[in-house]
A and B are shown apart, each in its own frame.
Chain A
């Protein structure tokens, strides 16, 4: 029996034992909030701390959670035994036939899959579950060998062998699937928006600055973060993150550099602690006199929440967040176009990157 299935059996035995002893069924998992993340000295990333949440069948939500866990484990067991896999979305739809254990939304089933990762200490790939999210794009002078769907290794140069939209990162980027063959670049720049990614591609920033461009497509998927981490760790490439200047973008950076709260159990696989932020910051808004939008009430709430988020508890972030709250303004990356289409690649990024010592 595989290790995953053994773990599942233990969980089922535990619940069965509780009922047998006349106890209310309960499960314990680490509390998954910003109040329960701690900095791991070993990995330099943020991981879950020692706080546990008890899901007890005394409450309806806890009872449902336990029941669904049993159903999901049974479903995964079947897949593992038959050598099949499914997407997270399929898992959600499969639950249609589970009666009471049916999920109310895909968020619930996604969350449960994460809970199972935490409880068992295995990744969801071990459960034969995969995300349906499309991977991000990469453009730059790096050659990758990917084992394609027919099981054949295929070499791809992410500058010469791809179109304008670049190389698509698959959902599995582990070594058995993706290998780095060769690279001729100085650093990796991860970009939040498609508009800015296209601007850097059109301006040939990858060649001029010897950069690997990675388009994050908003909140980056696990595989994107893992891919960036591997570029950093295995190839020794510095990583910089370039986003809009608003509270949500700050969180995108935090998820890359420090680890996301939702996936803090696997931060050491996903986070790149040495990643640097190249804007847009609140100071950039002032220094570059960028066109802005007013912060919405939700933005302000998000910024205030970040002030109590331990990941942002650094002098740099505190002052930037407080400054943004003070000026009550946010700006998009593309606001730099105020000074012309080449400004970002000719002036802004070179200035920022030289300052960081990434570009010479």
Chain B
């Protein structure tokens, strides 16, 4: 009797298992609010679609449609042009939790962070009672198959309610329709934002969205080039966890521990395998399938005590500088930033046996709002992370940098900076360390955090240079305005009031400008270009220095260089300029043979003068002996 009660209880436990598991773990799976459920449903569908297209080498074309069916009830439709799913696999892909080809694969993929589309199907069926409808067609088939299915909550097996072949105009692809209890909204953490961010890091995809009110948004692709497919690698001993090790040992075809180690792991040679067995005090002939948990633990311990080469990193597929730039440009829409930093892709690195690579892009200034916190776009394996911003290693890395040094506002030198900027951070890895099962934030792993910070500092330096250059430029143009407009007007008015002639202004103007001006004028001749360089000393002291002209194209006609200067083999002219008095100027000239049919811009370098004082020429590389690059103000001024 007692036994049968226990049996019945066990039965009951199994019966409710899947549904109960789901109900209990809604939060963990991401269905914790109505608006979030909507985003999660779309995310699962779109991630699947993009992965399927990429696996098959097809440029993704994904359309999402959201239709309102009732209060807080929506039909979510996601359709792709992927390879399609063969009929017999459809039920398992959509109707069985935790089913998928990627579960054990070690490679960079979106799927590793999903709970799977089947969880969406289950959520829909639990909240609206309606089955999901899937239509899929593979290229070889004449017809598509349309299935209505649910997840059997007792057995975690797919349950097909209805099935029929249908005519579909698409050559191949998959369409899934799920009705869910959810809420649709725009703005932050919305389907719109998710798709927009997805488009940034997937510039090869075309993504369209039809919103419940009929509005249609299309994120066009920015490139026709597919990203290189990620390469699958074997797991590296340093990253392995106990459960994984056990299941690898159970499934291996190897008969001995040594061949298991050298065959199933990367960077483990047969000789290293024996040494590991040695260190672990395990029999090299042990059958992997017979390994006990205790033995597995010793093995993992031994992994940590031997030297193993870092895993290969060529399995990662970063987005690349050019496409990050394009992607950002694409989604900014009407907003025009002042400056695109050259995106930084760090060299691949390794944490706990998992290769990873960090990429950072940043835009600054222009139309971006100046008084709001900087927008941080976080991505893991090309998937946008919208939630848990505060818990994420990316956010922590951003907050840890003193952005005041790079031209942004930041209270106390830490925290999210304020200013006109958008920062994009992408972490690609064969295994992203997430903080939780919902996979919404990257865990604060020191190696990853360090790489993110280094990449951030790299782009931040570019921003600082841009800001400094802009400041200098506006200072110079302000001085020009003073010199050309305001001071002549002051002189004219003062002369008018006192009834005297306007005095000569040049000495005053030099004092205000306090720069040396280098300016070229290029004229096209017959078969050559003649270049005239004006060097004006708009300072108050005599100046003598060396000027270098790096000619962009063609050969310098040696005899045309005036006054005579040295011409190096790589067509750089060097002049030792005679002393130029204050307000004085001189003209240099040379001619260049026209070989390429055009002349760009000569790059001028100076040496032997504070380069901050020179407009139109750069400091000679290596001439960085000057500490203070600020223009020195000669008088103390008290500003109110």
Contacts and interface: CB of A to CB of B under 8 A. Distances in A.
Interface of A: 8-9, 12-13, 15-16, 19-20, 22-25, 31-33, 51-54, 56-60, 63-64, 66-67, 70-71, 73-74, 77, 99-101
B2 interface: no
A53 B638 contact: yes
Interface string B487-503: 10111011111101001
11 contacts: A9-B498, A15-B494, A16-B498, A22-B507, A53-B638, A54-B635, A57-B482, A70-B493, A74-B493, A99-B489, A100-B489
A41 B490 CA distance: 40
A15 B491 CA distance: 8
B486 A100 contact: yes
- Of the candidates A25, A32, A52, A63, the one having the most CB atoms from chain B within 10 angstroms of its own CB is A63
B640 A32 contact: yes
A142 B496 CA distance: 51
Contact of A24 (B481, B498, B503, B512): B512
Nearest to A60: B478
A53 B493 contact: no
A19 B498 CA distance: 13
Contacts of A51: 638
B512 A58 contact: yes
Given A9-B498, A23-B508, A24-B508, A56 B487 contact: no
B497 A19 contact: no
Contacts of B635: 54, 56, 58
Contacts of B489: 67, 99-101
A60 B482 contact: yes
B224 interface: no
A13 B505 CA distance: 16
B639 interface: yes
Contacts of A22: 507-508, 511
- Of the candidates A8, A22, A52, A74, the one having the most CB atoms from chain B within 10 angstroms of its own CB is A22
Nearest to B491: A19
Given A23-B511, A25-B487, A99-B489, A60 B495 contact: no
Interface of B: 478, 481-482, 485-487, 489-491, 493-498, 500, 503, 505, 507-508, 511-512, 635, 637-640
Contacts of B511: 22-24, 58
A67 B490 contact: yes
A13 B637 CA distance: 23
B493 A71 contact: yes
Contacts of A13: 498
Nearest to B540: A22
Closest 3 CB pairs of A and B: A22-B507, A12-B497, A63-B486
B494 A57 contact: no
Contacts of B496: 74
Contacts of A70: 490, 493-494, 497
B487 A57 contact: yes
B638 A54 contact: yes
B505 A19 contact: yes
B119 to A, nearest CB: 47
A12 B486 CA distance: 16
B505 A33 contact: no
B474 to A, nearest CB: 10
Given A16-B500, A22-B508, A25-B487, A52 B638 contact: yes
Given A19-B503, A19-B505, A100-B489, A57 B512 contact: yes
B512 A100 contact: no
B487 A63 contact: yes
A16 B508 contact: no
B498 A54 contact: no
A56 B640 CA distance: 12
A13 B496 CA distance: 11
Contact of A12 (B494, B508, B512, B639): B494
Contacts of A74: 493, 496-497
Nearest to A61: B639
B135 to A, nearest CB: 59
B640 A31 contact: yes
A19 B481 contact: no
A16 B494 contact: yes
Contact of B498 (A12, A56, A100): A12
A118 B635 CA distance: 23
A253 to B, nearest CB: 25
A232 B213 CA distance: 74
Given A58-B511, A63-B490, 17 more contacts: A9-B497, A12-B494, A13-B498, A23-B508, A23-B511, A24-B511, A24-B512, A25-B490, A32-B640, A53-B640, A54-B638, A57-B508, A60-B482, A60-B486, A63-B487, A64-B486, A67-B493
Contacts of B485: 100
